[in-house]
A and B are shown apart, each in its own frame.
Chain A
């Protein structure tokens, strides 16, 4: 293993998002806080999802996970696409960094950004309502599996995209709808039967429900099932991404 090379690439990726912290952490936090303010104002007294859990408290883990999903994806996809479009990816391809080391560095940096956004959101949310953390291990495991899965999907999208429009299409027509329709703002038990069933085919639903169970100890499906789905997807997309990198698919001539 070229550990120093892998670590340097990780540091470079962290510095890349740290240099524009307002854009990479500040903006998603502000957007999430605005969602929280608006939905709290409108629905706090009208919706009661779980016994003894206020709607604002219910909303917070979902909003955090939605931001984990979107920021993990954005970090890897934008970095790789930008390097491809600007041509500076060549400086990485020339080095003795293997496909697995490349994967580790990019996914590690994306997970760090996602964790940073999640932590800031969680801390700020305490201004509105106290959100308990029933099982921190489940919270951490879901954050890693969900953030990791989306970071890898961002990597795949970045490798496949030839220009930023391709990335935007992936984000707008795939990531955004699936994350909004995954139970961030509601419990799927409040949906008609058809949409309840449909939700079970949305992997993001398990990521959000499992994450939420880490806070409240209660959810729509068994937390182990959520964890298994998220971990399974993480492994699956990782295998795809590493084999793409190893073959040099769309990045090595």
Chain B
């Protein structure tokens, strides 16, 4: 049985999922705390969507168990599903009903009656859908459809909200609106689980981050600790002059090269900025501009999920 405590929103316990010979999840275990903004990251095929489907009851685990607010997703599925709102990744909708009717029907499936209608109107207002409430989903733009999907996930006021790539394919303005909206939800006490391919999104929003790769949990850490444990910093140099080849020890540090700009990856305590710059000057270059940056989540993500030459993931 999954471990559950009052401060656990989702308890995932040794979950395996097999599709024929494919082992999509390999004994994944971790907890998502109540009230946190949690990021679930991983490359395509890492097992994120499979894990979310199991949490939501859309598919069943081959082994292991999951509980939402202490309710097992199979044996106590009603309570688990009432506690959960899921925004699916695909833009799917029922073409037969206008937006507000769709939301009222969705609330009804959860056993919520007319007393939830003011909340539905509030959702429409907050997601800027009020003037679209009587329109068919067919007539809405992709961004508007995405907002309706979010409203559908929230009609029954779930404690835990899973957003499966909610900003995929939406414009920058809508993405910002959705960020604000989900942050407000989190501030109001909802647990938010976000999967995204936009790593800056996870970096901006999430408190803790789990990275899945090849069906295994690679890392689960507080975002700040995760960023701090990356022992690198990046040095960007704009060079002028007709210098010769760079010294081999500098060349080994080059991460990116664009026209007259080099980006070097320096390991803290091992490579020193002053030494690197001196070597470059000795090679006959002048340094016109210098910039440094701390590692982003993306750098860590790439490092953790990049396949090593022997075929295994890092």
A positions within 8 Å CB-CB of B: 2-5, 7-9, 11-12, 15-16, 19, 83, 86-88, 90-98, 248, 252-253
Cβ-defined contact, A95 with B109, below 8 A: yes
Max chain B C-beta neighbours (<10 A), residue from A9, A94, A248: A94
Cβ 8 A contact of B60, one of A9, A11, A87, A252: A252
Q: Contact at A2–B111, with CB atoms within 8 Å?
A: yes
- The residue of chain A having its C-beta at the shortest distance from the C-beta of B149 within the complex is A91
Which B residue's beta carbon lies closest to that of A79?
A: B96
Q: In the assembled complex, how far is the CB of residue A231 from the closest CB belonging to chain B, in whole angstroms? A: 30
Binary interface profile of B, 122-146, with partner A (CB < 8 Å = 1, else 0)? 0000000000000000000000000
Q: Please determine whether B109 and A92 come into contact, CB atoms closer than 8 angstroms.
A: yes
CB of A252 within 8 A of CB of B109, answer: no
Nearest CB on A from B135, distance (A) = 15
Determine the chain B residues whose CB is within 8 A of the CB of A94 once the complex forms: 56-58, 81, 84, 86
Question: Bound complex: CA of A205 vs CA of B132, how far in Å?
Answer: 51
Knowing A88-B92, A95-B81, A248-B60, the reply to whether A253 touches B53 (Cβ < 8 A) is yes
State the Cβ distance, B158 to closest chain A Cβ, in Å. Answer: 10
Write 6 A-B pairs (CB below 8 A) sorted by A numbering: A5-B111, A83-B94, A88-B92, A91-B106, A96-B79, A96-B81
Q: Are A88 and B93 in contact (CB under 8 A)?
A: yes
In the bound complex, how far is the Cα of B95 from the Cα of A90, in angstroms?
14
- A83: chain B residues at CB < 8 Å are 94
Q: Are the C-beta atoms of A8 and B56 separated by less than 8 Å?
A: no
A8–B96 contact, CB under 8 A? no
- On whether the beta carbons of B59 and A90 are closer than 8 Å, the reply is no
Interface check B241, CB cutoff 8 A: no
Nearest opposing residue in chain B for A105, CB measure: B109
The answer to whether B109 touches A86, judged by C-beta atoms less than 8 angstroms apart, is: no
Contacts of A16 in B (CB 8 A): 96
Per the bound structure, the CA–CA distance linking A2 and B50 in Å amounts to 27
Contacts of A253 in B (CB 8 A): 50, 53, 58-60
Asked if B82 lies at the interface with its beta carbon under 8 angstroms from chain A, I say: yes
CB closest chain-A residue, reference B111: A4
Give A94 to B82 CA distance when docked, in angstroms: 9
Task: Name the CB-closest residue of A to B108.
Answer: A8
Bound-state Cα–Cα, A96 to B90, Å: 21
| Closest chain A CB from B95 CB (angstroms) | 7
User: Once the chains bind, are A91 and B152 in contact (CB under 8 Å)?
Assistant: yes
CA–CA, A248 and B54, complex, Å: 12
B95 engages A86 (CB within 8 Å): yes
In the bound complex, do residue A12 and residue B105 qualify as a contact, i.e. CB atoms below 8 Å apart? yes
* CB-based closest 3 A-B pairs: A253-B59, A8-B108, A87-B92
Residues of A within 8 A of B109 (CB): 5, 8-9, 91-92, 95-97
| Nearest CB of B to A249, in Å | 11
Within the complex, the shortest CB–CB distance from B10 to chain A, in Å, comes to: 15
A224 to B92, CA, bound (A): 47
A252 engages B57 (CB within 8 Å): yes
The interface residues of chain A lying within 8 Å CB-to-CB of B88 are 90
**Distance of A42 from chain B, by nearest CB (Å):** 41
CB-CB contacts below 8 Å: B181-199 with A: none
* Cβ A19 vs Cβ B78 within 8 A: no
Residues in chain B near residue A91, CB distance under 8 A: 92, 94, 106, 109, 152
Tell me if B110 counts as interface (CB < 8 A to partner A): yes
- Judge whether B301 is part of the interface by a CB distance below 8 angstroms: no
B21 → chain A closest CB, angstroms: 16
Is there contact, CB below 8 Å, between B108 and A5?
yes
The complex places the Cα of A63 from the Cα of B50 at a distance, in Å, of 49
Q: Are B92 and A2 in contact (CB under 8 A)?
A: no
Interface centre among B84, B93, B94 (most CB of A within 10 A): B94
Q: Which residues of B contact A98 (CB under 8 A)?
A: 78
Complex contact A96–B78 (CB within 8 A): yes
A252-B58 contact in complex given A4-B108, A12-B105, A95-B81, C-beta closer than 8 Å: yes
- Could you tell me which residues of chain B, from 73 to 92, have a CB within 8 Å of some CB in chain A? 77-79, 81-82, 84, 86, 88, 90, 92
